[in-house]
Amino acid sequence: MKKFESFDEKIKEYFKILSPSFPNWLDEYISCREMERLDGVSVTCGTYYSSLLKNKSHFSSLAHSIGVALIIWHFTKDKKMTLAGLFHDISTPVFKHAIDFLNGDYEKQESTEELTSKIIENSKEIMQLLKRDGISISEVDNYKIYPIADNETPLLSADRLEYTLSNALLVYGIEKMENIKRYFNNLEIQKNENGEIEIGFKDKDVARDFAFLACKLSKIYRGEVSRYSMQFLADIVKKLNEEKVIKKDDLFKLSEKEVIEIIKNSKYGEYFKIWSQASHLERSKDKIDGIYQVKIRAKTRYIDPLCKGERMSKIDEATKKEIEKNFLFDMNDYLYLSDIRDF
């Protein structure tokens, strides 16, 4: 059975919006062991495993990677660019950006991307496929060389487009399938203010709604539950690494469920249980002695899309105000669960 067929019907329906016909050549790459591993890594950076995060569903980093590839294929029909999009998260560890928190990379959340080339190069399966198709590593190991695949915030790329659509529809359930179609079918390749190609909207009202949706999701990405949970998981993994229970390499080889089993069987298992079953976080302006607390900032994600070649914040006052309001998000309190002591 092809990997595409193994996804549930709602995800397959979503994929068909991104590319009505699935490019069969892509399935061999998706089925490689290094890509299959991503099926065990949630896009929610580990927050999925706690009751603190409400109304969430599992969507894997593999599904996200496929979605990015399908968007690129839809707009370009370029195999190399599509593969660069597919491989862009191949170096994603368990708990995703939580490991960036472990590395102290709260703001950019890009600390593991440098491993992409190494993982591709060490994959016998992927290297054989690339050789067969006459493609070099340098053409697929860095999606940042293709502006349709990735570009600087707040521009719209295939990566930002995919995680906005899938998170809204499939992870947090704040958008309906018909609206996902409305957004996607209104897109085309345009030239931006710098003369570079970029995915942009045809109609201002659709672009405005999409920009508002991205801001709404941004508050979830750097909300209290996300910040606390990612730092909590990062600190536990760091402790287990220092205690030689988990090697850093394990984070790129094991599934999240396998790492969670290690945590549950460790001395931090009770804390993990408290976190996983908690219903709300507590906040404090001041540090409380003896209690594990988190006070950090996190990456501000937002999208200021193009509409007919013009930036929405320049031509639409409502979009400009919403983006400005997005930056006022308060991240100044200490967050904690009173039953979790410093560790």
Q: How many domains does the chain have?
A: 1
Residue 18 lies in a domain: yes
Q: Which pLDDT does position 102 carry in this prediction?
A: 64
Strands 334-341 and 291-294: antiparallel
Q: Which pLDDT does position 248 carry in this prediction?
A: 86
d(CA 173, CA 161): 16
Q: What is the CATH number of the domain that holds 75?
A: 1.10.3210.10
Residue 274 lies in a domain: no
Contact partners, residue 36, CB within 8 Å, separation at least 6: 3, 30, 62
Structural domain range at position 151: 3-223+300-326
Q: Which pLDDT does position 104 carry in this prediction?
A: 59
d(CA 200, CA 245): 47
d(CA 109, CA 299): 7
Residue 50 lies in a domain: yes
Place of tokens 């400009």: 320
Q: Which pLDDT does position 99 carry in this prediction?
A: 73
The tens digit of pLDDT for each residue in 194-238 reads 999 999 999 999 999 999 999 999 999 999 999 999 999 999 999
Count other Cβ atoms within 10 Å, centred on residue 317. 9
Q: Which pLDDT does position 106 carry in this prediction?
A: 43
Mean pLDDT of the residues in the chain: 93
The tens digit of pLDDT for each residue in 140-190 reads 999 999 999 999 999 999 999 999 999 999 999 999 999 999 999 999 999
Go through 109-140 and write b for each residue having 16 or more CB atoms within 10 A of its CB, e for each that does not. bebbbeebbebbeebeebeebbeeeeeeeebb
Start-end of H helices in the chain: 9-18, 26-30, 33-36, 61-76, 79-87, 98-102, 116-121, 124-132, 158-166, 177-184, 204-221, 224-242, 256-264, 269-277, 312-315, 317-326
Residue 14 lies in a domain: yes
Residue 165 lies in a domain: yes
d(CA 237, CA 247): 9
Residue 71 lies in a domain: yes
Q: Which residues of the chain have pLDDT under 50?
A: 105-107, 109, 111
Residue 30 lies in a domain: yes
Residue 84 lies in a domain: yes
Q: Is the peptide bond before 20 cis (omega within 30 degrees of 0)?
A: no
Instruction: Report CA dihedral (88, 39, 186, 306) to the nearest 10 degrees.
Output: -30
d(CA 300, CA 108): 9
